[in-house]
């Protein structure tokens, strides 16, 4: 472990060996049409190519492997999600013989809900946003003696950092990487690997302007709670940041950008037109930030397409410009 509390290189490499028992490394490509739009060489890390269509699976596999070995008494885990974290926990729990109970807010993605159920989770709908679902999940943990799986944890960061390790060691050295911020594990993993490899790459965090809690918290130097009202980027709809994630982001990022829903939807359309990849709203937040920033003199930049789990009806509306 590094002094900032993030995982070190050997820990991440061990996690990668575990992850690769379930999935291969995901690709990273330079896309000419995206590069033309950005006036820079653009590399994309395709975490939408994982078995659950998002990067979160890596953290779930590492966490559940640890839980099976260190806490064999645990029979049921409970967590809250908008979808990708829940799919990760559902898949990893089932593979380790553990029951999973997942709490989602009302109005959550129907297709993500169905995917979690098919992966073996017992789904509960509660609350109007992620924070309300999380608070209900915590109550269930206390009432039933189940094991609580948080949205941000050292083991989750270690797992998702394996994607950053692939990106930084397979793509050419990048001047700047634009990383979406939801609950913080993805960008924390990117910071951990950048620092462990001794790279000079700048890491820029990108949040939804309609879910600005992390941007406000970084500026204030402490956790600031703020409602999340984004209509498209539900995967980054954080109302209350995690303190540990905030400290990692404050110490390891160059700056934080905010993008609005129209910019995110435009980035989703660009991903489809320029790469023929489907990106969910949260998965396109990084590209939206990159294109907003028009990378200040950087010749080679990167971003993470963190997930492609968008409902068919929603994506059809985005492509047609009707949302």
9-55+154-320 shares its CATH topology with 57-148: yes
d(CA 267, CA 273): 10
What pLDDT, in 10s, does the model give residues 56-99?
999 999 999 999 999 999 999 999 999 999 999 999 999 999 99
pLDDT in tens, 216-247: 999 999 999 999 999 999 999 999 999 999 99
Please report the pLDDT score of residue 321 as a whole number: 87
Distance, CA of 309 to CA of 284 (rounded, Å) = 11
Confidence of residue 295 (pLDDT cuts 50, 70, 90): confident
Residue 300 has pLDDT above 70, yes or no: yes
Interaxial angle between packed helices 185-197 and 9-19, expressed in degrees from 0 to 180 and rounded to the nearest 10: 120
For 47-66, write each residue's pLDDT tens digit.
Answer: 999 999 999 999 999 999 99
Please state which of the ranges 165-174, 234-243, 250-259, 290-299 shows the lowest mean pLDDT.
290-299
CB 280 within 8 A of CB 271: no
CATH of domain 9-55+154-320: 3.40.50.1100
Give the pLDDT of residue 2: 61
pLDDT confidence bin for 4, thresholds 50/70/90: confident
pLDDT of residue 14: 98
String of b and e for 56-77 (b: at least 16 CB within 10 Å)?
bbbbbbbbbbbbbeeeeebebb
Structural domain spans, the chain: 9-55+154-320, 57-148
5 band by pLDDT with thresholds 50, 70 and 90: confident
Supply the pLDDT for residue 3: 55
By CB neighbour count within 10 A (0-12 exposed, 13-18 middle, 19+ buried), where does 134 fall?
A: buried
Q: Give the pLDDT of residue 26.
A: 98
What is the CATH number that goes with domain 57-148? 3.40.50.1100
Q: Is the pLDDT of residue 196 over 70?
A: yes
Range 218-221 contact pairs with CB under 8 angstroms and sequence separation of 24 or more: 218/246, 218/249, 218/250, 218/253, 218/256, 219/256, 221/250
Average pLDDT for the chain: 96
């Amino acid at each position: 472990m590094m002094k900032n509390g993030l995982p070190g290189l050997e820990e991440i490499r061990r996690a990668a060996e575990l992850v690769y028992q379930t999935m291969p490394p995901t690709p990273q490509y330079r896309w000419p049409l995206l590069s033309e739009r950005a006036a820079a060489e653009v590399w994309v890390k395709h975490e939408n190519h994982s078995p659950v269509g998002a990067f979160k699976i890596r953290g779930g596999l590492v966490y559940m492997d640890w839980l099976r070995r260190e806490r064999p008494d645990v029979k049921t885990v409970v967590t809250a999600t908008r979808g990708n974290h829940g799919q990760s926990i559902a898949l990893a729990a089932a593979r380790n013989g553990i029951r999973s109970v997942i709490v989602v807010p009302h109005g959550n993605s129907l297709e993500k809900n169905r995917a979690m159920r098919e992966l073996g989770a017992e789904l509960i709908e509660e609350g109007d946003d992620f924070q309300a679902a999380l608070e209900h999940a915590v109550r269930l943990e206390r009432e039933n003696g189940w094991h609580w799986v948080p949205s941000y944890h050292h083991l989750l960061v270690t797992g998702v950092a394996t994607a950053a390790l692939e990106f930084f060691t397979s793509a050419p050295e990048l001047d700047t990487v634009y990383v979406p911020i939801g609950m913080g594990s993805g960008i924390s993993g990117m910071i951990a690997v950048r620092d462990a490899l001794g790279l000079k790459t700048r890491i820029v965090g990108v949040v939804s302007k309609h879910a600005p809690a992390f941007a406000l918290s970084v500026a204030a130097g402490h956790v600031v709670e703020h409602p999340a009202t984004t209509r498209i980027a539900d995967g980054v709809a954080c109302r209350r940041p995690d303190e540990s994630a905030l400290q990692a982001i404050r110490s390891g990022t160059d700056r934080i950008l905010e993008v609005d829903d129209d910019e995110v939807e435009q980035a989703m359309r660009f991903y489809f037109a320029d790469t023929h990849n489907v990106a969910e709203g949260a998965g396109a937040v990084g590209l939206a930030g990159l294109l907003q920033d028009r990378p200040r003199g950087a010749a080679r930049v990167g971003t993470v397409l963190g997930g492609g789990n968008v409902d068919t009806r929603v994506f059809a509306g985005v492509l047609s410009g009707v949302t």
